[in-house]
Amino acid sequence: MANSPSAIKRVRQEATRRARNRATKSRMRTFIRQAQEAIAGGDRNAAAVAVRSAISEIDRAASKGVIHLNNASRNKSRLMARFNRLSD
């Protein structure tokens, strides 16, 4: 357990950041899942809207440092690959 005042404050800060990061990552995953479901549904217009919002959420998480930039690029690339296969 933290003993010094600075260590106690650090524990509080980490708890706050962890909760914020978890919420951001969960929101990102929700948007990705909705985009994948829209793609699976086959409606190209609905899928385009869902993919655009998912990519926006992925970028937001990456800009906040919740996920690595390469992780964001990989997620966006895979999502777009699925979307592009929809048109075939």
**pLDDT tens, position by position, 35-67:** 999 999 989 999 999 999 999 999 999 999 999
pLDDT value of residue 59 = 98
Tokens 């948007």 locate to 31
- Any alpha helices (H) in 2-88, and if so which ranges? 5-41, 44-63, 69-86
pLDDT value of residue 86 = 87
Mean pLDDT for the chain overall: 95
Q: Which CATH architecture has domain 5-86?
A: Up-down Bundle (1.20)
* pLDDT level of residue 88 (50, 70, 90 thresholds): low
- Is the pLDDT at 87 greater than 90? The verdict is no
